[in-house]
Structure 1
Amino acid sequence: MLARRCRIRLRFVGEGRVLRADRRGEWSSRHMEQQITTFVETERASGMNLKTIVHFGAGALGRGMVVPLLFESGYEVVVLDTNEELNRELNREGGYRLKLSDDQSGDGEREIRIREALSPVADRDRVAEYLKSANVVTTSVRRENLVHVARALAETWGELDGENRMVICCENIENVGSLFRSLLVEAAASEEQSARLRRIAVPDTIVDRICTANWPEGTNVVAETFHECSVDANEAPQTGITLIPSVARIERDFARKRLLLNTYADAISFLAKGEGKTYLFEAARSDDINRMIEPYMALLQEMLKLEYDCDSSELQEWRSKYKSRLSNSGIPRELDTVARNLWAKLDLNERFAWPLIKLQEHGVDIGEGAKFLAKLVRTADGEGQSAAELQAKLEGLWGTTPAGRKLCELVSERLGE
């Protein structure tokens, strides 16, 4: 059913031309995207009964990226959020406005319409009815809230055939498909429910768009024009959602984004906060901070080449794109929202240490990377602590494996520099 819906929709898009995502996950023709919107608006005006998707999460990413992509792909969207005051305002307005801060076409504001905004708690029965009729559910709720989504779905979809149903978790979580599938199975009330829930497609995803919301001042959202929202083609060859494509090698794409964007943004934010700056765009624009981080970023780029066979020129293009996006002052994201949870992010399997561990396995000299991590630790958490105290923290975090102990030794040697 999902594949059939996709073919039907593409038949109307672009007057027979094929819509494709380029290698960066962006839509290759803005004119083509405008044609999609024109077609959808025409069908809405004619009273066509468009298919409904249920989306969990009305935060900045949900309203700034996921809901707009669903709406502009021709779906009616039911938005679920526990913030009942926000839901009431969205229902009163029938949606909200999305401002694209860097749009140069003169069409920088869009009206995003929703079918209804409900609370999965207060409006439980009505939510259940929507879920029973939906074939696709999307989320943007953060990791800690996925368990609640899984329980809600288990109660409804657990009683239905899971074939031709799909959950797209638009979360910045590696292997999110496997994580959510396990939560679904754990929420099953019986073996029969578990069997049905296992048939649901839950692909891994990659999601990326910088968005800010100013609720409770208003429902409107500010975002950039760029977006990357794709699912693993191995699990879901067709999504049926024009602006959320299926792609091959999503593991590679996720690693590229994780290191060249997320790690970069985290690192420059910690350094900029240490310098007394306020906003992320100030960090990205700082020549001193970029010079400081360049040797470390070069190592991350080398790791992506060795582990994922990434092309050097393509990686350099992505780095330039990411830096340009983070430098956008039209989305004034505060450093405090990025420069947080340093020690969790220093875990051996996380974004700062993991690539250096991998490079060690390839025999690459990671001295410059260790030097940068030492600088990062001193800047972000070194106030009032001696080098010995910081070293003890690192030993507790990294001392569980030989590779971790080696990294700890290299970074500790540089803590006093």
Structure 2
Amino acid sequence: MEAIHFGGGALGRGLVVPRLVEAGWTVTVVDPLPDLVEALDRQGGYGLEMQEGGATREIRVPIARALHPERDRAELMRRLGEAPLVTTAVRKENLAGVARQLVAAGAGRAAPCTLLGCENVEAVDEALTQALIAAGIAGEALARLHIPRTVVDRICANAWPASTTIRTETYGELAASRAGPTIPGIEAAQSIDALFDRKRYLVNSLADAAAILGRSRGDTLLSQAFGDGALLAELTPFVDALQRHLALEHGLDRDGLVRYAATSRERLANGFIPRRLDTVARDLWRKMQPGERFFAPLIALRRRGEAVEAALDVLARLVRLSAALEGAPGHPAFGPAELRAVADRHGEDPALRSVYRDTADRIGKGG
């Protein structure tokens, strides 16, 4: 079983490649960094370092080849034309480049292939399909591709260029929608959307919120913020609202969600993988948009007639504190006026409008 993996970064080498290798796949890694490709190819793999029970251990992850998409184009085209599995772990904006490679390699391909997007991107299957269409894929070639929806979760740190070693936690989630062929090493899940939202809200939203509070108190690492019980207690009404939304939206068990949130807090408090708060609490204005991780679940709850006032108090405090964190190029500052502007743009949606206006009013009252 030969798999081609695009993306030699932390998540790709920390989660996707090890899962495939453990399941018996022979993996070729493709990355645009020439020095990294040369090092991985020369070493025939890399180290994966993790901590268990306070002890650190390192395992070796073997790979078949490491290829550069331009320098090694001929070999890449050949391997892509034959591999039954292609996985990606790149930035969303780089999926277009992967799609062009796949279209170029698949012109004469007759055998089916599974294309697995392992980015932390909602509905990544749709993003990949659109990228392939934009790259000019033929209808029959697209029909031969199985592109499942996925969810991925593992905290990883990339040591490159100091070394090729990836440092990671033991926890890992990599699942694909159940429809379609079985993929050895990849869990098949009935509802990827439920798992994705659970991860987005009870890991990502939680991490972002704690990072804002932590930076306001002078913390520099995510583990410091999650080691502060008083800080986490401030977030309790918000986390409770997230759990209620997940239970109502996806039918997830509330007790299971409580356990999942507790596991998330434990994972994010792990100092073995240092995460700087300035790399977590960033791009906050995008994350505060109606369809994103802070406001979307509260809007959905208000549409259901659920109480969200205590959670809005938390959001108001986060927005007020975020003003000191934003303002750098590409990261605009925002506050009550910006929230009210969003509300005004969505006047046709009473729940959305009221959630944004109520949050803005709370900020004005010192929230």
TM, length-normalised to structure 2: 0.93
Deviations along 1:223-256, one digit per CA (max 9) or x if unpaired, are 011110010012x3411x1x21211111111111
Contact 2:287/2:293, CA 8 A, preserved across alignment: yes
Q: 2:250 aligns with which of 308, 315, 322?
A: 308
Residue equivalent to 1:5: none
Residue equivalent to 1:184: 132
Residue equivalent to 1:86: 36
The CA deviation at 1:383 is 7.3
Return the letter of the residue paired with 2:192: I
Return the letter of the residue paired with 1:100: M
Residue equivalent to 1:40: none
Distance in structure 2 (CA, Å) of the matches to 1:302 and 1:357: 12
Asked if 1:373 is matched to 2:315, the reply is: yes
Matches within 5 A, 1:144-183: 144-161=93-110, 164-183=112-131
Q: 1:262 aligns with which of 197, 201, 204?
A: 204
Secondary structure in 2 matching 1:159: coil
Secondary structure in 1 matching 2:139: helix
Identical-residue share of aligned pairs (%): 36
Residue equivalent to 1:238: 182
Q: 1:65 aligns with which of 15, 26, 32?
A: 15
The CA deviation at 1:337 is 1.6
Distance in structure 1 (CA, Å) of the matches to 2:343 and 2:239: 21
Q: Mean Cα displacement is larger for which, 269-278 or 220-229?
A: 269-278
Residue equivalent to 1:225: 170
Residue equivalent to 1:132: 81
Residue equivalent to 1:74: 24
- Could you list the runs of 4 or more consecutive aligned residues of structure 1 that deviate by over 3 angstroms after TM superposition? 104-107, 382-385
Residue equivalent to 1:121: 70
Q: Which runs of 5+ in 2 are unaligned?
A: 328-333
C-alpha RMSD over aligned residues: 1.9
Residue equivalent to 2:299: 357
Secondary structure in 1 matching 2:263: helix
Residue equivalent to 1:98: 48
Deviations along 1:240-297, one digit per CA (max 9) or x if unpaired, are x1x2121111111111111111110111112111211111111111112101100010
Q: 1:286 aligns with which of 223, 228, 235?
A: 228
Residue equivalent to 1:35: none
Deviations along 1:347-369, one digit per CA (max 9) or x if unpaired, are 10000010001001110111112
C-alpha spacing 1:307/1:52, structure 2 compared with 1 (3 Å): same
Secondary structure in 1 matching 2:271: coil
Contact 1:399/1:408, CA 8 A, preserved across alignment: no
Return the letter of the residue paired with 2:87: T
The CA deviation at 1:399 is 2.8
Contact 2:340/2:360, CA 8 A, preserved across alignment: no
Secondary structure in 2 matching 1:411: helix
Residue equivalent to 1:10: none
Residue equivalent to 1:141: 90
Q: Which runs of 5+ in 1 are unaligned?
A: 1-50
C-alpha spacing 1:342/1:275, structure 2 compared with 1 (3 Å): same
